Chain A
């Protein structure tokens, strides 16, 4: 926490993604999987990324971790990482930062930092790092939890060995006993009994495997944990246990999380801030309360309305009509306009940039002409969005 000039307590920036572009170079056309994505992850924050399949969520996660392989190419942008000066948990064997480049992209970031008291530290552009430097950043500072726990664990090594493997690679000076002790500690941290250290992945249930993966991810106490649909393959009860565990660990250890999922209802309970992606772009960013109470983008509303609720009147809900666009040929203007029940003529011509919602101070931003005074003087309320979608539901012919 840093107190800025105004005296407000503001969480410092940990990761800043600026205008990131990722393309897949396919023989039958370039797929623009991530286009001009910018967001900020603050220290100790859970940032949710939601969207349909093919909206570029996972590609974004892989780009941040530099795990993309050809034909994927990062064609532009910066991923700035502001490493913490001192680790609160006092890890001594941590590799030093000094021999890493101070700033990959020249002086303009330093100039910017000089002006901005909130971010006093050196920034690293993850996209400029060499393979050897990446090796140090990965897992030390940036860990990732993949969707399928069964495929992420090595089936012929027991989970204890897999945790100790990480420690052996990144902490070569750590003795064997210390490594084993840390492995036991980690398993207990995620709620697995320590006698499971010698268990093989097939001997564990799906939930336990996912916990083991989280234990491996936390082995070096990273500052950023990226979770790519970590609970999709799990049952509701197990999913809830894992999510509770993540929240508890996050509060205990203070790392930041980028949580990727298609299940927006789950994200609203978990994340501090939520970014909605559509066709490779972020179309809305808001705090979870703002997004739940008044989603601004028609796509966000549609996504939110795609989940049947546990309470309230039972009514026919209409999903979002149509299907996501082919990313080789994204519709001109707003990519969502062919599916949007509120589209008007400007939507197919003019591209909507991500802008703050007028008259709202909580930092909700949306990429929609409905909130742009140049095109629409009366921004719709949430009930207007609801009415349009309900008209769709009535049109679908179900009572």
Chain B
């Protein structure tokens, strides 16, 4: 059993009173339709045993390749998918996401920003409509004057000025960066405490990416939003987030403070990700030295029949026989860092503690959220 992500060491307990949103042992299977009713039931094992915690005013980055289950985690946290097992707790209370009104009150606190602002805005509606809808649905605006006033202030918060002009524009009249700002404003209209940003800048042009990232950073710092930042770009995870979690093929493999995870990666997969990231600083005096070979090759395996044990073992340069047999338990590396890798032990130190923690928190057996 893994324990939950603990409050980072040295964190001010007044500033960080505890996680606002926790996910414990989330698991998600997507069943596959089969032509043969007597055949084996197949499912995509998208996410296995994922735990994370979000704190107000802190950003947590979730890093991995496509197909690693990052987006599925975000969608479970947003209540778009119901987990196959595991629990989501909001302010310590189990979040029940199984009926409409509860889901709506949950979404008052948790909002999702999608990757592609070109498809997440409705092309037949203007900015006023996009921002006015959440204001009305969540009861923040009761008449048109209030609505206009709040929309203008939202547009100013996301640096779309002059707001009076933007309010009547349609998505096709906006650039990619402006659309993503509208999408962020739409999430903010609900007045959430938690923003789940699913690759918010990957579709944007290079020079606009930093602007949008800086906007989210400012919101995080000034309004004390808890942010989950999903990305495949490990350098922007370091720039943006205090904590980084690395996922591979649905399994969490490493986590901890961003700087340490990225500068001294421990898990072979994190090492692979870091060495694959473009890094002009590798340009040394040796001008002929070009791209170095990667420590591992290949791609994420099929998750319908995923590799046994640690799913990284077919690509791992350090794979041992035990890696095929079972997934390693969590090993604490100190200073809030942990990894799931047999190279660093098998979690002997932390096992006892974590079981106490989870049973005390009442997280065991609270798995049936909604049957799939």
Contact = CB atoms under 8 A, between A and B. Distances in A.
Interface in B61-119: 65-66
A268 B283 contact: yes
Interface in B203-242: 205-211, 214, 217-218, 221, 232-236, 238-240
Contacts of A207: 299
A238 B300 CA distance: 10
A385 B208 CA distance: 19
Contacts of B294: 237, 240-241, 244
Nearest to A250: B290
A308 B236 contact: yes
A57 B214 CA distance: 27
A227 B34 CA distance: 41
Interface in A127-163: none
B279 interface: yes
B207 A269 contact: no
Contact of A264 (B206, B277, B292): B206
A314 B257 CA distance: 13
Interface stretch (A91-99, A101-109, A315-323, A375-383): A315-323
A105 B175 CA distance: 42
B207 A320 contact: yes
B278 A308 contact: no
Contacts of B282: 269
Interface stretch (A12-20, A166-174, A343-351, A391-399): A391-399
Given A238-B299, A314-B238, A319-B209, A270 B290 contact: yes
A302 B221 CA distance: 24
A317 B210 CA distance: 7
Interface stretch (B136-144, B161-169, B268-276): B268-276
A15 B209 CA distance: 34
Given A236-B232, A236-B273, A314-B239, A262 B291 contact: no
Contacts of B292: 244
A374 interface: no
Contacts of A36: none
Contact of B291 (A247, A303, A398): A247
A184 to B, nearest CB: 21
A265 interface: yes
B297 A269 contact: no
Given A240-B294, A264-B206, A310 B232 contact: no
A52 B290 CA distance: 25
B272 A237 contact: yes
B152 to A, nearest CB: 19
Contacts, number: 131
B297 A310 contact: no
A323 to B, nearest CB: 6
B287 interface: yes
Given A268-B280, A292-B283, A262 B221 contact: no
B287 A262 contact: no
A355 interface: no
Contacts of A396: 214, 218
A269 B283 contact: yes
Contacts of A122: none
Contacts of B217: 316, 398
Interface string A234-253: 01111111011001000000
Interface in A30-62: 52-53
Nearest to B219: A398
B206 A314 contact: no
B207 A319 contact: yes
Residue of A323, A324, A393 with highest tally of chain B CB at under 10 A: A323
B278 to A, nearest CB: 4
Contacts of B235: 307-310
B189 interface: no
A288 B278 CA distance: 14
Contacts of A307: 206, 235, 278
Nearest to B259: A314
A263 interface: yes
Interface in B39-80: 65-66
A302 B207 contact: yes
A205 B65 CA distance: 13
Interface string A181-192: 000000000000
Contact of A289 (B66, B205, B283): B283
A264 B282 CA distance: 14
Contacts of A237: 65, 272-273, 276, 294, 296, 299
B149 interface: no
Contact of B209 (A205, A269, A306): A306
A30 to B, nearest CB: 21
Nearest to A305: B210
A310 B276 contact: no
A145 B236 CA distance: 28
A26 to B, nearest CB: 16
Contacts of B65: 235-238
B15 interface: no
Given A235-B65, A247-B290, A309-B279, A53 B205 contact: yes
A311 B218 CA distance: 23
B281 interface: yes
Contacts of A25: none
A318 B211 CA distance: 7
A205 B299 contact: yes
A397 B218 CA distance: 8
Contact of A319 (B211, B221, B278): B211
B243 to A, nearest CB: 13
Given A207-B299, A244-B291, A398-B218, A310 B281 contact: yes
Interface in A248-275: 262-266, 268-270
B293 interface: yes
Interface in A283-306: 288-289, 292, 302-304, 306
18 contacts: A52-B205, A52-B207, A235-B65, A235-B299, A236-B65, A237-B65, A237-B299, A239-B276, A244-B293, A289-B283, A303-B207, A306-B207, A308-B236, A309-B279, A312-B281, A314-B239, A317-B210, A323-B208
Given A244-B291, A309-B279, A316-B217, 20 more contacts: A53-B205, A237-B272, A237-B299, A238-B65, A238-B299, A240-B291, A264-B206, A265-B279, A265-B280, A269-B290, A269-B291, A288-B283, A292-B280, A292-B283, A307-B278, A310-B238, A310-B274, A318-B214, A323-B208, A398-B217
The 5 closest A-B pairs by CB, nearest first: A319-B210, A308-B239, A240-B276, A268-B280, A266-B278
Interface of B: 65-66, 175, 177, 205-211, 214, 217-218, 221, 232-236, 238-240, 259, 262-263, 272-283, 287, 290-294, 296-297, 299
Interface of A: 52-53, 205, 207, 235-241, 243-244, 247, 262-266, 268-270, 288-289, 292, 302-304, 306-312, 314, 316-321, 323-324, 393, 396-399
